[in-house]
Chain A
Amino acid sequence: MSLQATSSQTVGPFFTIGLDWLNRNELAGPGVAGERVTISGIVLDGDSNPVPDAMLEIWQANSHGKYAHPNDTQDKPLDPGFKGYGRIPTDDQGHFHFSTIKPGQVPGPDGKPQAPHIVVSVFARGLLRRLVTRIYFPDEAANAADFALNQIEPVARRGTIIAKKSSGTAGALEWNVILQGAEETVFFDC
């Protein structure tokens, strides 16, 4: 007889008192290899109001496509200065931003490479469970063959999880979390 996973409950409005100590919005220190990116955005609810009590958690591979985790047995180098973890609460206007490096490709089902991506958990007051989504990168040829992107219908929704280049600074990307409505971000059953 198997046990059953504990039920999720919302983080509520006051989670920062417990979780702030592990906030991290600069994932890659100066010595870390890879293309530098900063990702900025806003979390919006179904009325397009900003969500000031949300938190993103980030998990990603290093620039070689290797995760800092024992389940990743690929013969690729680890980067000692890069763990791949981030935790970013939204500010009073619902905004967030973090800086990292673009991850390399990691294998998907059947070993075919996935397009570079960051996996994201979204927590907020009002969410009884976390939402799971991904961030993909613009102008990335591998996006066309990515198995996760290709599961998304209608096709127009795929763009909700591909970051857009911001004008100005090199490496500046915009990616938003729309919790509900016509422009709703794609969320995964994960």
Chain B
Amino acid sequence: MAPIAGYRRPFLGTQPDYLYPPYRSSIKRAPSNPLVYLPHTLSEITGPSFENEIIDVKACDLTKQHSAPPLGERIIVSGRVLDEDGRPVRNTLVEVWQANAAGRYRHKRDQHDAPLDPNFSGNGYTLTDSDGRYRFVTVKPGEYPWRNHVNAWRPAHIHFSIFGPAFATRLVTQMYFPGDPLLSFDPVFNGTADEGARNRLISVFDWESTVSEWGLGYRFDIILSGREATPMER
């Protein structure tokens, strides 16, 4: 076989370190040994594909999974999944999950004293199209308290999980909302040292996807690691 072109490693500071003590849960879960560098092999440049899985068309509309619409402000969250060269990542699975409008997750371990909404499960998924586009309809998630430090509150966010073309491109992240006053106090958001990289986690209000008399649009583009140039065969 020809030598393998791997995927690019992150720019300095653009990914969080494992140990970030202000995020308390990282203290006992971050590895203490340095990672062992692994050149990418066939095992890392391949990965699962879900193109042929049954995709429920309702799964991308989180407001239509029950008999009545959920409470809260309906929003449209859309964007593109691209690689670092700006090329669309097609037919890749995008999964989302979030709190309801009151800031409560439908999860047995979420004990926050805010109401559950019988009409909101808070999860969805879709495949990107041939331009790498995805689109979800949901409600704006509420902020909620957590016990990381005194009076700690998570800024409003939506969790995103994206596979991309290979094991090496797997990404789980969170999308935030513009102007959220809690962002500057949030240890998860601030765990990424590079300010530019941090700010790219904040969606932008988007007139283009906003639907008149119906819902506001937020745009969130997701960039996955790009492929190295193919090495020359010797």
Contacts and interface: CB of A to CB of B under 8 A. Distances in A.
Interface string B163-176: 00111101111100
Contact of B16 (A3, A57, A128): A128
A61 B96 CA distance: 28
Contacts of A71: 42, 45-46, 165-166
Contacts, number: 247
A6 B171 contact: yes
A6 B80 CA distance: 12
Contact of A2 (B38, B43, B84): B84
Contact of A188 (B38, B82, B83, B224): B38
Nearest to B17: A128
Measured as residues with beta carbon below 8 angstroms from the partner, the interface class of chain B is: 35 or more
Is chain B's interface secondary structure helix, strand, loop, or mixed overall? loop
A140 interface: no
A18 B36 contact: no
Given A69-B49, A179-B29, A184-B33, A15 B159 contact: yes
A148 B8 CA distance: 19
Nearest to A48: B28
B166 A18 contact: no
Contacts of B110: 13-14
A169 interface: no
Contacts of B82: 3
Nearest to A13: B109
Contact of A72 (B42, B161, B200, B223): B42
A46 B97 contact: no
A108 B41 contact: yes
B35 A61 contact: no
Nearest to A1: B86
Nearest to B166: A71
B37 A5 contact: no
A108 B45 CA distance: 11
Contact of A9 (B4, B32, B174): B174
A51 interface: yes
A49 B28 CA distance: 9
Contact of A121 (B36, B83, B170, B192): B170
Contacts of A74: 1, 42
B224 A15 contact: no
Contacts of B145: none
A167 interface: no
Contacts of A2: 84-85, 226
B43 A180 contact: no
Contacts of A125: 25, 29
B29 A124 contact: yes
B205 interface: no
A59 B171 CA distance: 15
B197 A119 contact: no
B147 to A, nearest CB: 11
A163 to B, nearest CB: 16
Nearest 6 interchain pairs by C-beta: A18-B97, A126-B25, A69-B46, A126-B29, A85-B48, A128-B16
Given A5-B225, A126-B26, 9 more contacts: A6-B201, A6-B222, A18-B159, A51-B29, A57-B170, A84-B48, A107-B41, A185-B31, A189-B9
Interface of B: 1, 3-4, 8-11, 14-18, 20, 23, 25-33, 35-50, 82-86, 95-98, 105-107, 109-110, 121-125, 159, 161, 165-168, 170-174, 188-189, 191-192, 194, 196-198, 200-201, 222-226
